[in-house]
Structures are given as C-alpha cells and as structure tokens.
Amino acid sequence: MAVLRLFRWLLLSVALIGCRSTINDCDEDSLMRFAVDPEGRISFAGQALVHTGCAAGRCHDEGAEGRDRYGVPLGLDFGLPIAVIEDVREPLPEGHQAMLTRSRENILRHAEAMLTLIDRGAMPPGADPDENLAQGGYRHLEYRLGQCHFGDALPSIQTEEGRELVRNWLACGAPIVEATDPTLPNISGDRGVHRSPLCEEERAPGLMTFERLYAEVFQPSCALAGCHDAASPDLRMDSLELAYSELFARAPGDTAHCETESAREALPTDFIVPGDPDASYLLHKMTDPLIPAAERPICGDPMPRNGRLPRAIEKVRAWIEAGAPGPVAQN
C-alpha cells in the first residue's frame, strides 16, 4: 500500500510539472504576518501552515515512519518545529538546527512543486476541503513595540488565504523562527533564521475547565499531532468527550509500551488523580519539572514528541488541582 501511495505521489508530481503554480514576488509587509500557537510560540504564518499541514508527526516529518509517511520518500522532510529555550544558558536541542536546515533546503528546492500540490488539493493528503482553520490552534499575531496583539484563528492551508500566506512565505525565501528565547524583547534574526520571545494572550483568571484544556492542549498537541487521533490504539483524543472518558477509563499499564513487567508495575495506577497532580501519570508523561525525574517513571517516549510544553503542563496541573472537572455536559 505504501508503494502504491508513493507511485501515485510521484505520478501526480510528474503530471504537474507542466502546469506548476508560480511563486511570483515577495510582499515583505504580508510576510510580517505571524502566527502564535497555544504555547505562545511565534512563527511566520507560512511556516506554521507548512509545518502543521505537511509535517507535525506525519507525511514530511523527519520522525514519521511507516503508514504515517503516506508514501512520502524518506528524506523529503518539511518539518519546522520551534524549540523552547527556558534558560538563557540553554542551547538548542541536539540536532534541532541541523534538522531545520535540512527541512528548509528541501522546501526551497521543491517550492513550486509544493505550491502546485497545495493549490490542486493533493497536499496535505486526506485533508478536509471544507476545513477552514489551521491545525494546531494557531492564531494570527501582530508583534508591535514588544507587545503581542492576538487576532483571529489562522486559516487552513486549504483556503485561498492560507495558500496565499504559504505562497508569499515561499517567495520571500521561507524564513523561519527556530526557537523562542525568554531574553529577547523582539523578534530578531538574519539569513532567514529568527528567534522570538514568548507570547501568551492575557486571560481572566479562573477555573481551568476541560473545554479550555482540550482546545488549548489536547486537541492541538495530542489529537491533531497525529498521535492520539481516531487511529490510535492507545488513548484517543479526537473529541472532547472521548478525551475525558479515555483519561479516566484507561489505565497507564494498559496503554504504556513497557519493555518489562516490572517497569509496567512501577507506573502510577491512574492517568488522572483529581486534586493530586504529582500522582497523575499524564504529568509524568509530559515530564512535569515540578515532579522529580526519579519520582515520575514512564514507559515509552515522553509526550509530546516535539519536546516539553511548559505552558501546557501548567494548564494540566491547574486543571488537576481544581479537581479535574469534566465537560459541562457531564457535570
């Protein structure tokens, strides 16, 4: 099946050589339209759309394997994740910069073919043509005088506006934000590689509801990332109600990929222990820094795959401390 998908991908690519979309000129003003994800990480809007639409755990993601690649040849990767530097002395994760360089070179080398496939609706594969919003919970962002100004949700790569954002980003050389840096007062960089401060929309304090947690954490980082979707044999989070049910109905030992029985027995008994974040396996998997590493055993890889999400951890912890309330309809 993978060979058949690869053949179709190559056949379509060859067929489109004679009718490629044109990149045209770069509009510098439009390039400065940024996007921000629920973690407060800023990226170029085109970067966000290509990463979430073409990579982010599947297809053109360096870490995607087997059926998750949808027949995309190995090495043809477009992933552009943003690293989070939590301390000024902290270096970028090992291999992060080299991976971004490879992806950006691939994107620039195949820019016209990529845009053509997007324009024809052949990329991303299986995308809902009626989906109007980008995956990952991204929103438009204007960054002026050191202040974050949040706008509407970022359009999907299937929309006319989304395709234009990608086209212009490609025309301008596909610049990227490689990491957030807490010491920066502004977005800065050169040679197409930038770093940015963190931004988070100010919200009124109050109870961390499961609806908000799902919209800001579980849906963009777990379900839409391709890990806990409808095809997952482990926890499914492809709907708000299902995510809540799975977190309480499943046991870590039933879903964890442990190499030994003793490792499985060392796990906490529950994903969520209302009122007790430290005993909740979900925060162990998310590598909550408030829990000493020796006291949060896990099996398999930490989640999410792209590294620790500090703000997501804070939100999950706040929800558990509040008693882990369920969706309003279930209360």
Cβ atoms of 28 and 93 closer than 8 Å:
no
How do residues 137-188 score in pLDDT, each as one tens digit?
888 887 766 677 888 889 988 899 999 999 999 999 999 999 888 777 778 8
Instruction: Give the model's confidence band at 37: pLDDT under 50 very low, under 70 low, under 90 confident, else very high.
Output: confident
Instruction: Specify the pLDDT at position 17.
Output: 47
Instruction: Give the model's confidence band at 190: pLDDT under 50 very low, under 70 low, under 90 confident, else very high.
Output: confident
- 7 has a pLDDT exceeding 50: no
Identify which has the larger pLDDT, 84 or 140: 140
- 321 has a pLDDT exceeding 60: yes
* Interacting residues of 236 by C-beta distance below 8 A, sequence separation 6+: 228, 229, 230, 242, 243, 246
* Interacting residues of 290 by C-beta distance below 8 A, sequence separation 6+: 277, 278, 317
Cβ atoms of 78 and 50 closer than 8 Å:
yes
Cα separation, 55 vs 124, whole angstroms: 9
Instruction: Specify the pLDDT at position 128.
Output: 67
Q: How far is CA 310 from the centre of its chain?
A: 14
How do residues 210-268 score in pLDDT, each as one tens digit?
988 888 888 877 876 667 877 777 788 888 999 999 999 888 877 667 888 888 888 88
Identify which has the larger pLDDT, 19 or 43: 43
* Helix or strand (DSSP H, E) at 318: helix 310-321
Instruction: Specify the pLDDT at position 57.
Output: 76
- Region 2-18: what's the mean pLDDT? 47
Any idea what DSSP says for residue 69?
G
Backbone angles phi, psi at 155, to 5 degrees: -70, 155
Cβ atoms of 140 and 152 closer than 8 Å:
yes
What is the average pLDDT value for the chain, to the nearest integer? 82
- 16 has a pLDDT exceeding 60: no
Over the Cα atoms of the chain, what is R_g? 20
- 1 has a pLDDT exceeding 50: no
Backbone angles phi, psi at 172, to 5 degrees: -90, 10
Instruction: For the beta carbon of residue 217, count every other beta carbon within 10 angstroms.
Output: 26
- 323 has a pLDDT exceeding 50: yes
Instruction: Give the model's confidence band at 21: pLDDT under 50 very low, under 70 low, under 90 confident, else very high.
Output: low
* Interacting residues of 96 by C-beta distance below 8 A, sequence separation 6+: 81, 83, 178, 179
Identify which has the larger pLDDT, 10 or 41: 41
- Region 7-20: what's the mean pLDDT? 49
Instruction: Give the model's confidence band at 14: pLDDT under 50 very low, under 70 low, under 90 confident, else very high.
Output: very low
* Max mean pLDDT range (27-31, 56-60, 91-95): 27-31
How do residues 102-138 score in pLDDT, each as one tens digit?
999 999 999 999 999 888 887 777 666 667 777 778 8
- Which tokens is 165 given? 């954002």
- Which tokens is 261 given? 């029985």
